[in-house]
Chains A and B, each alone.
Chain A
């Protein structure tokens, strides 16, 4: 597998994990290990330096070969996200920031306007900026122009398990994008992650589907294999779709064959 490039960093794994919603810190760590992920996101609001049992950041930072991408989940405005990014960088030392701005705390849909404003500031401050966005091809280009290292359009609503319901828009984003496109949110099954990779995504981010599985570590492994299969399939060259039958032997080969 070729490397996934984000800023000056490279990763051989194309599965990024979210770390909320697990039944315990140890279940989360097992899943991270089983996934082979090299990049995981963790919410600043779940950093708890005062109580190890409740803290996600500490245990994750001890896993060798893992890069942490703090996220700004909880921010409702650009200003809050920027503040959270500064604190996250100070605490974690990571140059990565996943910009999540959802002013509606119920459906958690990203705010495109505030996200754009925050990304512009953070990219200028040399963060490796990875925004979680609605599947909007115009917004994706605007974010690329301000210096984001990737765009992360949602497959469907966070925690909904509705899969790639934004597939047509994600395809437009991929077609136009010069930076990695990473589907984030809504994926339910490894087959959907595989489909996202076949479609041309450079990586996928999965949380709920792994965290709430009966066996999170086993599900993480399944997602890892599916992501790899999807990426390999795309590189191998998927056959074109056709509305009618296409013969396996050309029907017109006799033409020009001489009389």
Chain B
């Protein structure tokens, strides 16, 4: 492997977060919570931005040991046809969703770049904001997606430990650690406005992972100052394949990690998905977390046919309806916001600048 980028090992980029993560006592946790809440309130007010994932396809060319979509899983493969995508989006729109994250597995012939591009184009005609969580692409491909209305990218490094990364990714294009690590930068260069990063917590030693995520976020913020950067905190969940994570990341550590990120990086969105329990999500809303997924279906075609859809990438923990979840936020004096973006800002490049 080529040399790791300097920022990944630069401890100065995470020196303020490290002591907060290493504390273990209740008193420091409570102090951190109070500060995280105050910073969140001051900077973001009482609103929580909502989004929902739409799984386009579970075809995949990689062999990640921890994923239900890995290419050696026996569950049936499926991708949504464009008329199905439209039906799913209409169903999502009915529950108020205005911000969609389109997901696929790693690049395959069945669901490659052109399929994704056309899916983005279709979604951008229906939803104010479209983001993707898909295979790494080239700058030119990201540029083409941005021109179709894609404004965001989420890509998890899974683990920032290169040795562990090599063991967990058994085959396929995802084996390239650096290719994945540099993906957010290629997306920004191609005109994608905001990138979301994170580690799949449980795969490697959690403090080291948290520090690497912090360094990555700071590196991106400093180098690409016009790009939005957000951080997610996915913990590994049960999935087909029954992989057992090497590290247990308990609720207390996860809460500490989120609150440490909030106090050290007051301006960035911190995201929590339905992987987490309703109790944990309700508790963390406004305590650092400013963006959450809602009513998620992690199966291909899960919104129209919730009962008959196939295998999921992982099991959802918070399975409340949009209504139930919003009621819980309102009970905490927080406002669920479904639309916090306008397609007016999807700014395709002028003809002459197109590649």
Q: Which residues in A have some Cβ–Cβ distance to B below 8 Å? A: 20-25, 44-48, 50-51, 53-54, 74-77, 79-80, 83-84, 87, 103-108, 159-161, 208, 211-212
Contact = CB atoms under 8 A, between A and B. Distances in A.
B289 to A, nearest CB: 16
Interface residues of B, number: 35
Given A104-B226, A105-B194, A106-B268, A212 B342 contact: no
B178 interface: no
Contact of B46 (A22, A74, A75, A83): A22
Contacts of A44: 342, 344
Nearest to A86: B344
A106 B96 contact: no
A106 B228 contact: yes
A108 B268 CA distance: 11
A75 B98 contact: no
A45 B335 contact: no
B44 A74 contact: no
A51 B345 contact: no
Nearest to B226: A103
Nearest to A216: B46
Contacts of B47: 20-22
A74 B341 contact: yes
Given A106-B228, A106-B229, A212-B41, A22 B335 contact: yes
B96 A51 contact: yes
Contacts of A84: 342, 344-345
A21 B44 contact: yes
A91 to B, nearest CB: 10
Contacts of B96: 51, 53-54
Nearest to B268: A106
Contact of A74 (B225, B338, B342): B342
A94 to B, nearest CB: 16
Interface of B: 41-47, 93, 96, 98, 128, 193-194, 221, 225-229, 267-268, 330, 333-342, 344-345, 347
Nearest to B97: A51
A128 B340 CA distance: 25
27 contacts: A20-B45, A20-B47, A21-B47, A22-B45, A22-B335, A45-B340, A45-B342, A46-B337, A46-B340, A47-B342, A48-B339, A50-B98, A51-B98, A54-B336, A54-B337, A76-B345, A77-B347, A80-B347, A84-B342, A104-B226, A105-B194, A106-B228, A106-B268, A159-B43, A159-B44, A160-B42, A212-B45
Contact of A54 (B193, B267, B339, B344): B339
Contacts of B268: 106
A208 B41 CA distance: 9
Nearest to B44: A21
A20 to B, nearest CB: 6
A75 B228 contact: no
A23 B193 CA distance: 27
Contacts of A23: 46, 330, 333-335
A161 B193 CA distance: 28
B335 A87 contact: no
A127 B43 CA distance: 30
Nearest to B228: A105
A27 to B, nearest CB: 8
B341 A21 contact: no
A159 B46 CA distance: 12
Contact of A208 (B42, B226, B335, B347): B42
Contacts of A53: 96
B345 A54 contact: no
Contacts of A211: 45-46
Contacts of B342: 44-45, 47, 74, 84, 87
Contacts of A107: 267
Contacts of B227: 105
Contacts of A20: 45, 47
Contact of B338 (A22, A47, A51, A161): A51
A103 B345 CA distance: 12
A21 B46 contact: yes
B43 A54 contact: no
A127 to B, nearest CB: 15
Given A20-B47, A46-B340, A51-B339, 5 more contacts: A54-B336, A74-B345, A105-B194, A159-B45, A212-B42
Contacts of B339: 45-48, 51, 54
Closest 3 pairs between A and B when the two form their complex, measured CB to CB: A21-B45, A106-B267, A23-B46
Contacts of B345: 45, 74-76, 80, 83-84
B268 to A, nearest CB: 6
Contacts of A74: 341-342, 344-345
A105 B338 CA distance: 19
A54 B42 contact: no
Nearest to B333: A23
A84 B98 CA distance: 18
